[in-house]
Structure 1
Amino acid sequence: MNFCILGSGSRGNSILIESGSTAVLLDAGFSGKEIRRRLELINRSPEQLTAILITHEHGDHISGAGVLSRQLNLPVYANIGTHRAAETKLQKLHQRVEFETGTTFALNDLEIHPFRISHDTADPVGFTISDGKNSLCCCTDTGKITTLIRQRARRCQALILEANYDPQMLADGPYPLPIKQRVRSNQGHLANDDAARFLAELAESSLRQVVLAHLSSTNNLPELVTARIEEEIGQLNPVFRFDIALQEQPTRMFEL
């Protein structure tokens, strides 16, 4: 199983995950044209895609999903709450597929389990995705690390985890107070501190690869994330390595 984060941040999010003849986009938060361009940058064709999975209805996760579904005849998978909340943005889809949060389903070569997270949307989810040998946990846009998230991540070989903001940058930054409060809330986003402490918990788990994602372009910097994580995991000698996904360009292709 391979995966590549095509881009991640407050202006767009999308992840390519592939195994065998199956290739899915987890979220499609760029324009259809931009997603096509980024796929070409990693030598992938949009025509190779099998489906689109949606975590929640915010525009930076769905803005290109509708047009790609229509252009490429792709089914769009989301739970009922997200489909209903996203209808006006997605418009008519080639195929609308509903899954139940907490229930595993198969999509060709992949086994997919959507699990509940904490975000201010209708019914937000993270995903664990497995090819039968290895598993990837995708967990962004959550305001807190729950017991369920801990259980899901601990079983996986790779983790895509949000590290959205540096608390001091957020406090000193230009956001109005209500937005700052929303970001810091249990239904907002994870701070660098939250991500770092969680990774320290996972130092002796089955994880081999971590990619930090959804960094705010206003309230965070890659070097701040890196320093905070290195400070937290310190002498723990974790068995995983970590990379950082950026807004402007795809990551390398990760192989499990």
Structure 2
Amino acid sequence: MRFASLGSGSKGNSTIVESGKTCILVDCGFSVKDTVRRLERLGKKPEDLNAILVTHEHSDHWKGVLPLASRYSIDVFITYGCLIATGIRQEDYSFLKIIDSHNSFDIDGISIKPIPVPHDAKEPVQYILSTQNHRFGILTDVGCITPFIEQQYSGCDGLLIEANHDLNLLQEGKYPSFLKQRVASQWGHLNNKQTANLISVIDQKTLKKLVIAHISQSNNHIDIVKQAIDEVIDGTFEVIYADQEEGFDWLYLGGL
């Protein structure tokens, strides 16, 4: 299994996961043209994609899903609540597949486990993707860490988790008051300390690759993030920091 990012941040998010001949995109917050360009950078093209998983309806995750899927006939897996929030109808798009946010399903040999999360969207989920030998968890756009989340994300080989903002930078920044409250709320995004706390309590024994993602360009700084993360890692796994423009290149968990 391997995974990479087309880009990560408030201007657009998309993660690609591949195992064997199965290639899955998680979210697509970029235009079709931009997505194709970013895929090419990773040696892939839209025709390689078996499916798109949707976490929630916010534009930095959803913007390109429908145009990309329509143009290239890619199946899209989405919760019912998220579908309703988008305003589209399932009967208008044959490739839309409604998922139960509490039940796992399979896409061509990759097991997909939706994880319901607290975020200000309609039935938002994150995902853990597993094969017989590997387990990769994605956790962004979540306002707080619950015991359920701690349990589910323990024991991953690869983990992509957001460290969206530094509380001080957020409060001192240019965002209007209502937006500051939204970002910092239990239905907003994880701050650096929350992310570090989660990393410190999960089982890290099997962890090979840790990606810190969805880092705000306005309310965070890479040096502050690194300082928080360095305090809770033991140095036995690689830590990567995702970028808005470049995302990150392929990371390998094991043989394809």
Q: Same fold (TM over 0.5)?
A: yes
Distance 1:92 1:173 in 2: 42
Structure 1, unaligned runs of 5 or more: none
Summarize the alignment of residues 218-237 of structure 1 with structure 2, pairs less than 5 Å apart. 218-230=218-230, 232-233=231-232, 237=234
Change (3 A) 1:33 1:92: farther
Summarize the alignment of residues 89-128 of structure 1 with structure 2, pairs less than 5 Å apart. 92-128=92-128
Distance 1:254 1:28 in 2: 19
- TM-superposed CA distance for 1:199, in Å, is 1.2
Kept after mapping to 1: 8 A contact 2:82/2:124: yes
Aligned residues: 253
- 1:241 is aligned, of 233, 238, 242, to 238
User: What's the RMSD between the two structures over aligned residues?
Assistant: 1.7
Q: Which residue of 2 aligns with 1:66?
A: 66
Q: Which residue of 2 aligns with 1:138?
A: 138
- TM-superposed CA distance for 1:146, in Å, is 1.0
Kept after mapping to 2: 8 A contact 1:75/1:97: yes
Distance 1:50 1:203 in 2: 31
Kept after mapping to 2: 8 A contact 1:76/1:93: no
- TM-superposed CA distance for 1:244, in Å, is 0.6
- TM-superposed CA distance for 1:148, in Å, is 1.4
- 2:249 is aligned, of 244, 248, 252, to 252
Q: Tell me which moved more, 6-15 or 239-248.
A: 239-248
Instruction: Please give the TM-score of this superposition, normalised by the length of structure 2.
Output: 0.94
- TM-superposed CA distance for 1:206, in Å, is 2.3
Change (3 A) 1:85 1:242: same
Distance 1:250 1:108 in 2: 26
Kept after mapping to 2: 8 A contact 1:66/1:91: no
Q: Which residue of 2 aligns with 1:148?
A: 148
Q: Which residue of 1 aligns with 2:7?
A: 7
Q: Which residue of 2 aligns with 1:53?
A: 53
Distance 1:56 1:84 in 2: 11
- TM-superposed CA distance for 1:163, in Å, is 0.3
Instruction: Please give the TM-score of this superposition, normalised by the length of structure 1.
Output: 0.94
Summarize the alignment of residues 158-173 of structure 1 with structure 2, pairs less than 5 Å apart. 158-173=158-173
Change (3 A) 1:143 1:196: same
AA matched with 1:176: P
Q: Which residue of 2 aligns with 1:179?
A: 179
- TM-superposed CA distance for 1:33, in Å, is 1.0
* TM-superposition CA deviations, 1:123-161 (whole Å, max 9, x none): 011111012210101010000111111111102111110
- TM-superposed CA distance for 1:89, in Å, is 11
AA matched with 1:69: A
SS in 1 for 2:248: coil
Kept after mapping to 1: 8 A contact 2:157/2:206: yes
Change (3 A) 1:134 1:239: same
SS in 1 for 2:215: coil
Kept after mapping to 2: 8 A contact 1:103/1:113: yes
AA matched with 2:208: R
Change (3 A) 1:108 1:204: closer
Structure 2, unaligned runs of 5 or more: none
Kept after mapping to 2: 8 A contact 1:66/1:90: no
SS in 2 for 1:17: strand
Identity %: 36
